[in-house]
Amino acid sequence: MTTNTTPNTVSSDSFIPVNTQTWVNGRHVVRCVKVIQETRDVRTFCFMAEQPVMFFFKPGQFVTLELEIDGQQVMRSYTISSSPSVPYSFSITVKRNPGGLVSNWLHDNLDEGQELAVHGPVGQFNCIDFPADKVLLLSGGVGITPVMSMARWWFDTNADVDMVFAHSSRTPSDIVFWRELDHMASRVSNFSLHLISERIENGQAWHGYRGYLDQAKLEMMAPDFMEREVYCCGPTPYMKAVKKLLQDNGFDMTRYHEESFGEAPEGVEEQAIEAAEIAQEEADALTQSDMSWVTFSNSGQSVQIAPGETLHSAASKLGINIAKACGMGICGTCKVQVKEGTASMNHNGGITDDDIAAGYVLSCCSVPDGDVVVEY
Ligand SMILES: Cc1cc2nc3c(=O)[nH]c(=O)nc-3n(C[C@H](O)[C@H](O)[C@H](O)COP(=O)(O)OP(=O)(O)OC[C@H]3O[C@@H](n4cnc5c(N)ncnc54)[C@H](O)[C@@H]3O)c2cc1C
Ligand code: FES
């Protein structure tokens, strides 16, 4: 829930770096201190904490916002687009999603001075865990946010990292952070910028590439791309095309890292369709013994679900609201503990090995192996 209580200024006396606490993964109340219109449908929101906090995180990681909209609690994940090299605040950069609840709410309602809760920072897609001296940063649309955070980090810290940054947009006016990208490219020799625009509007000056990223453009932008660590984020079709391009070249895919913002990542969608088909085929043959009982220990409520149904869907059937943001095992928002029985989880990095060992699962992507009791 957002509140509007505090003036939008922070006394510089509050900043005493040696005494300032640092950010750790958890729930934090932060205040919006700046809103920046980046393009026609993209805005950056900057946040600070009431008591100054050094917002350290791994560039590429994200936070999950906890909001109350029309009386309902909703959670959505957003990448931290700023860099931990400027640690007294952090920012997220949000694109309006046509018909989308939270992105439009943020654009229409979130203003300077308002407070809200964020969870995080978390995320395995980051540039700290995969050190490299030559990188290729590939982004499409608002998928620029994590790789921008990485580029800002390397730029600000004078890192000895050779960066090729290739960004694809619909039109030149949709390029987020264009001026800052140009600025970085003009200041250091280890930052090479390449912009690709799907189409050019009438009267627009354009010196970049046109169309889509393909083999020829990749070779021109980064002839040595096979030697680079690749970070990719963008719409699902964009990421699929990039992955195929690299695979066709025999690229070592252990050096390819990607982040998906919403649609099911490759494989999950197909698995879901397959699961639905199997469920349909088996529906007639389904007997009581094929169904699983899911019991939620806090309320003592139980529900019987069909094979393939998730723990989150079991909770929804009972009107139990387990917070959910990404719906695909990335953000960790929907974590619950299985107290009895087991569940099979198909996650995308949103849970640690320690949590798994302690019996936690992500309810959005976990199906019970039989009857289970879930603590919730
Ligand atoms: C790790 C991670 C990082 C992310 N980082 C960013 C970021 O940096 N910037 C950013 O902009 N986004 C980011 N996202 C995406 C973000 O979390 C939201 O998914 C996005 O803003 C859309 O949310 P929304 O509430 O506006 O849309 P939703 O309400 O979730 O709707 C999404 C889409 O589904 C459609 N829809 C909704 N309900 C229905 C229905 N009943 N029937 C048919 N269609 C429907 C909507 O029209 C809309 O197009 C990230 C996501 C993840 C998982
Ligand atoms: S909602 Fe993100 S992991 Fe389940």
d(CA 129, CA 145): 18
Residue whose CA lies nearest to ligand 1 atom number 17? 77
State pLDDT tens for residues 249-272: 999 999 999 998 865 433 444 444
Query: Where residue 202 falls among pLDDT bands split at 50, 70, 90?
Result: confident
Query: Where residue 333 falls among pLDDT bands split at 50, 70, 90?
Result: confident
Q: Which residues of 317-328 are buried (b: 16+ CB within 10 A; e: fewer)?
A: eeebebbbbbbb
- For residue 76, the CA-to-ligand 2 centroid distance in Å is 10
233 closest CA partner among 152, 144, 107 = 144
Q: Which architecture characterizes domain 134-258 according to CATH?
A: 3-Layer(aba) Sandwich (3.40)
In the prediction, which pLDDT does 327 show?
A: 83
Fold of 21-122: Elongation Factor Tu (Ef-tu); domain 3 (2.40.30)
| Ligand index nearest the alpha carbon of residue 351 | 2
- For residue 100, the CA-to-ligand 1 centroid distance in Å is 6
Mean pLDDT value of segment 57-74:
93
Q: Lowest mean pLDDT: which of 30-34, 185-189, 219-223, 346-350?
A: 346-350
- For residue 154, the CA-to-ligand 2 centroid distance in Å is 30
In the prediction, which pLDDT does 285 show?
A: 62
Ligand 2 pocket, residues with Cβ under 6 angstroms = 324-327, 329-334, 350, 362, 364
In the prediction, which pLDDT does 344 show?
A: 97
In the prediction, which pLDDT does 192 show?
A: 98
DSSP alpha helix (H) spans, the chain: 101-109, 144-156, 178-187, 215-221, 236-248, 268-283, 311-317, 353-357
In the prediction, which pLDDT does 266 show?
A: 37
d(CA 375, CA 336): 7
Look-up of token digits 């540039």: 127
Mean pLDDT value of segment 330-339:
91
Per-domain boundaries in the chain: 21-122, 134-258, 273-375
Residues near 188 by Cβ (< 8 Å), separated by ≥ 6? 155
Q: Lowest mean pLDDT: which of 248-257, 279-288, 325-334?
A: 279-288
* Residue of 46, 79, 97, 331 to test ligand 1 pocket, by largest number of atoms within 8 Å of CB: 97
State pLDDT tens for residues 88-110: 999 999 999 999 999 999 999 99
Residue whose CA lies nearest to ligand 1 atom number 10? 94
DSSP helix/strand/coil, 27 = strand
| Ligand index nearest the alpha carbon of residue 74 | 1
For the chain, give the mean pLDDT.
90
Antiparallel, parallel or unpaired: β 62-69 and 114-122:
antiparallel
State pLDDT tens for residues 120-179: 898 889 999 999 999 999 999 999 999 999 999 999 999 999 999 999 999 999 999 999
State pLDDT tens for residues 241-250: 999 999 999 9
Residues near 180 by Cβ (< 8 Å), separated by ≥ 6? none
Residue type, position 90, single letter: F
Mean pLDDT value of segment 28-50:
96
Compute the CA torsion angle 294, 72, 326, 106 (nearest 10 deg): 180
State pLDDT tens for residues 5-21: 455 555 555 666 666 78
d(CA 157, CA 151): 10
| Ligand index nearest the alpha carbon of residue 331 | 2
CA-based radius of gyration for the chain = 22
240 closest CA partner among 272, 275, 264 = 264
Mean pLDDT value of segment 108-118:
96
In the prediction, which pLDDT does 260 show?
A: 87
- The domain 273-375 is placed in CATH, from the list 3.30.930.10, 3.40.50.620, 3.10.20.30, 3.20.20.120, at 3.10.20.30
